[in-house]
Amino acid sequence: MKILVVGGGMGGTILANNLARRLSGEIKAGKASITMLSASDKHMYQPGLLYVAVGKMMPDELYRDQVSLLESCITFRVDPVTKFNLKENNVLTESGKQYDYDIIVISTGSRAHAEGTPGLAENASQFYTEADAVKMFSSLQKFEGGKVVIAVGVPHKCPMAPLEITFMLADYFKERGIWDKVQLHYTYPIGRVHSLEPVAKWAQPEFDRLGITYETLFNMKEVQPGKIISEEGTEEDYDLLITVPAHKGMQVIEDNELGAGGFIPTNRTRLNIEGYENAFVIGDTTNLPISKAGSTAHFEAEALAENIASTIKIGQPVRDYDGKVFCFIEAGEGRATYAMFNYQNPPDPKAPTKGIHWFKTAYNKMYWASARGLL
Amino acid sequence: MSERKIVDAKNTFCPGPLMELIGQMKMAEIGDELEILSTDQGSAADIPEWINKVGHEMVETSENDGVWHIVVKKIK
């Protein structure tokens, strides 16, 4: 049984490690194999970019060698897939090789796509790549006061990022002693300050307390130097524009016409590609209407690994993915909270505490144990 | 002829039905109709509010067994 994992981010890594342990007997007996194909030999802890953007982490803290995170029985190759032949059960790669499989899991992730909004890439700071996060920190360091606008595209990776960067910016400007010279103005696509109603109900009074102004039903249409225009017909002047850009799936998914915007139509409980019983999708690559977050990829990977292993051992899957998501929320002033929910149960976030902030800070290091499938 | 696309946002809390619709509308062609399925009663008010503010067209809204079916048309 040849299992092929395409993508070495959080979802693919947890899945491959989890599966390697569940199938250790079959792998030793030569009855199963796991191969991972990735675009990089490095694994990045993506949530750390938020901290790099405000000078709280250094980029080199975010990386580990991918091979160091994988069980030794997993074959790892840096050889990105260029062609998915799902009907023939094989993929072709950049190096020209063909990899045949019995089961494939696609976990190629998503990317910020500022270029999709006219003028955004040229005029805004963002933090979704190492280079962009470092550049954003440089922009902040040069900023001496004025109006800072936060603008949010849809869909985006990490649903808490818009709120977190706002509270972290407030802390940053306070620490620099220029908070009284800054007007922080938050915008959001729907009619409240966050998609989760309980989170919005908590965040709005926090904004009021801190003097952060906000505008809802604001979707970016076009950005000009010093001015951002919304689809809804409003405009905001800015001195510094910070954005959470709309995201797309990876180009290879679009090139292979596997899904609009690079997001693959996926069964919400079994995680298979619609129409295929041996092809699965996890993480940001799915088109599921749930959060694009590391925790989503994590919980999907655990459910899918269990089902792939059980299918090999007893011929059938044993459980559904229940839509579980867990997101920390950095709330500023050394506090944090979290939201946890699934398809059936809405979130009920508690008041932020310093304890949860310290747990989140610890998790920034403990992540590597998660990726190895140990946490 | 433009086709009607179903956006199944039942039993989801984040990003939620309106955010899903906004993302899908960006990818749609002018003239396309999208039918969003939602179990969130608030969608019946939130989605028309946004559609009207942006200037797209509300086609129809109905509720069946706790699922809201909201059909919109991309105009611009």
Which homologous superfamily is A114-246 in?
FAD/NAD(P)-binding domain (3.50.50.60)
* Joined tokens for residue A176: 């620099």
Interface of B with A in 54-73 (CB under 8 A): 54
Is B53 in contact with A232 (Cβ distance < 8 A)? yes
Q: Does A362 touch chain B (CB under 8 A)?
A: no
Rounded distance between C-alpha atoms, residue A215 and residue A149, angstroms: 10
Residue of A nearest to B42 (CA): A197
Of A155, A196, A232, the CB nearest to B23: A155
Is B19 in contact with A154 (Cβ distance < 8 A)? yes
Answer yes or no: are the C-beta atoms of B75 and B30 closer than 8 Å: yes
Active site residues of B: 14
Query: A264 CB contacts (<8 Å, ≥6 apart)?
Result: A106, A249, A253, A258, A273, A281, A285, A286, A287
Q: Which residues of B touch A196 (CB under 8 A)?
A: 13-14, 16
Taking the CA of residue B74 as centre, how many other CA atoms within 13 Å lie in the half-sphere pointing to its CB? 21
Could you read off the pLDDT tens digit of each residue along chain A, which spans 375 residues? 999 999 999 999 999 999 999 999 999 999 999 999 999 999 999 999 999 999 999 999 999 999 999 999 999 999 999 999 999 999 999 999 999 999 999 999 999 999 999 999 999 999 999 999 999 999 999 999 999 999 999 999 999 999 999 999 999 999 999 999 999 999 999 999 999 988 999 999 999 999 999 999 999 999 999 999 999 999 999 999 999 999 999 999 999 999 999 999 999 999 999 899 999 999 999 999 999 999 999 999 999 999 999 999 999 999 999 999 999 999 999 999 999 999 999 888 889 999 999 999 999 999 999 999 887
Cis amide prior to B15 (ω within 30 degrees): yes
Q: Which residues of A touch B9 (CB under 8 A)?
A: 289
Residue labelled with tokens 């796991």: A34
Is A195 in contact with B14 (Cβ distance < 8 A)? yes
Residue B11 lies in domain: 4-73
The A182-187 sheet, strands edge to edge = A213-215, A182-187, A146-152, A240-244
Q: Which residues of B touch A233 (CB under 8 A)?
A: 53
If one counts the domains in chain B, the total is: 1
Answer yes or no: are the C-beta atoms of A115 and A128 closer than 8 Å: no
Proportion of chain B in helix, strand, coil states, percent, rounded to 5: 30, 35, 35
The per-residue DSSP string of A97-113 comes to -EEE-SEEEE---EEE-
Rounded distance between C-alpha atoms, residue A93 and residue A273, angstroms: 20
Give ipTM to 2 decimals. Answer: 0.93
Answer yes or no: are the C-beta atoms of A151 and A228 closer than 8 Å: yes
Q: Which residues of A touch B18 (CB under 8 A)?
A: 189-191, 195
Q: Does B15 touch chain A (CB under 8 A)?
A: yes
User: Domain ranges in chain A?
Assistant: 2-109+250-314, 114-246
Which residue, A53, A46, A54, A38, is CA-closest to A6?
A: A38
The CATH number given to A2-109+250-314 is: 3.50.50.60
Query: B22 CB contacts (<8 Å, ≥6 apart)?
Result: A154, A189, A190, A219, B50
| Residue B39 belongs to domain with CATH number | 3.30.110.40
